[in-house]
């Protein structure tokens, strides 16, 4: 399915090593993604080389900027087809990865991929604004991430409540960095933007990772309901 040498070569550009077990799992992932996408809208990217660059490499680049060790607890909020959480799990099968999505059928797809790849993750069905108030999830994660187009101030309200004090929220954004106007929103939620990383994918597409440290507890009134977050963002 995928060009495994291309995956290894592109990952190495970011000092990320991919072994043969990982490439086999990525290959399995790609096959199931393309096949399932015929009956379920998971992605507009189905060409094998583009899957490697725009999904797999785009996801695992985060590994260059954060530290994932044994039992590191990671939440991927609004995971969709599993990006970036599942590629990070393939890199670090020892991590405690939780994939969160509002659509059960997407989680069913992810379970199929997990089973076929022989890796384990926790799948949770629900909306981030509801789950962020769940005591079993709120402020329990070392790393919270999301690969999304939502503005940083809105994304932060969905994601920062999951991060424990001392943990971090890593927002994976496109070429536009809107985080410069989000410092107050992040601070209101108990965070502080510490790093902004700008880079290009191997195909030249621009990307940004915004890394916010959780320095204090998120006030109990956050996250608010979806309508309030959208209509009156922080």
Residue 147 domain-assigned? Answer: yes
Q: What is the CATH number of the domain that holds 146?
A: 3.40.50.150
What is the reported pLDDT for 26? 98
Residue 169 domain-assigned? Answer: yes
Residue 15 domain-assigned? Answer: no
The total number of structural domains that make up the chain: 1
Mean pLDDT per block of 10 residues along the chain (234 residues) reads: 98 98 98 98 97 98 96 97 98 98 98 98 98 98 93 96 98 86 95 96 96 98 96 95
What is the reported pLDDT for 206? 96
Cα–Cα distance, 230 to 234 (Å, whole number): 9
Residue 110 domain-assigned? Answer: yes
Residue 36 domain-assigned? Answer: no
Residue 11 domain-assigned? Answer: no
What φ, ψ does residue 85 adopt, rounded to 5°?
-60, -45
Question: String of b and e for 187-225 (b: at least 16 CB within 10 Å)?
Answer: bbbbbebeeebeeebbeeeebbbbbbbbeeebeeebbbe
Residue 10 domain-assigned? Answer: no
Q: Which residues contact 1 (CB under 8 A, 6 or more apart)?
A: 27, 30, 31, 34, 48
What is the reported pLDDT for 180? 80
Cα–Cα distance, 45 to 5 (Å, whole number): 19
Residue 38 domain-assigned? Answer: no
| DSSP letter string, 97-151 | EEEEES-HHHHHHHHHHHHHHT---EEEES-HHHHTT-TTTTT-EEEEEEE--S-
Structure tokens at 98: 């939780």
Q: Which residues contact 129 (CB under 8 A, 6 or more apart)?
A: 157, 158, 223, 224, 225, 226, 229
What is the reported pLDDT for 215? 98
Given the structure tokens 């940083």, which residue do they identify?
152
Task: Tell me whether strands 73-77 and 122-125 are parallel, antiparallel or unpaired.
Answer: unpaired
Structural domain containing residue 70: 61-231
């Amino acid at each position: 399915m995928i060009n495994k040498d291309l995956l290894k070569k592109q990952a190495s550009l970011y000092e990320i090593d991919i072994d043969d077990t990982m490439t086999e799992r990525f290959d399995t992932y790609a096959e199931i993604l393309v096949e399932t996408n015929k009956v379920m809208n998971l992605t507009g990217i189905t060409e094998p080389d583009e899957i490697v660059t725009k999904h797999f490499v785009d996801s695992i680049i985060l590994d260059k900027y954060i530290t994932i060790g044994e039992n590191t607890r990671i939440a991927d909020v609004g995971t969709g087809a599993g990006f970036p959480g599942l590629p990070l799990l393939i890199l670090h099968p020892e991590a405690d990865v939780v994939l969160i999505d509002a659509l059960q059928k997407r989680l069913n797809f992810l379970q199929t991929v997990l089973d076929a790849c022989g890796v384990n993750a926790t799948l949770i069905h629900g909306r981030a604004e509801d789950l962020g108030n769940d005591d079993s999830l709120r402020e329990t994660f070392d790393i919270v991430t999301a690969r999304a187009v939502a503005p940083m101030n809105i994304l932060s309200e969905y994601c920062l409540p999951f991060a424990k004090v001392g943990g971090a929220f890593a927002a994976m954004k496109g070429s536009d960095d809107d985080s410069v106007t989000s410092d107050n929103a992040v601070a209101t939620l108990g965070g502080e933007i510490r790093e902004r990383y700008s880079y290009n994918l191997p195909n030249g597409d621009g990307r940004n990772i915004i890394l916010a440290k959780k320095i204090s507890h998120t006030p109990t009134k956050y996250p608010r309901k979806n309508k309030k977050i959208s209509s009156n963002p922080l």
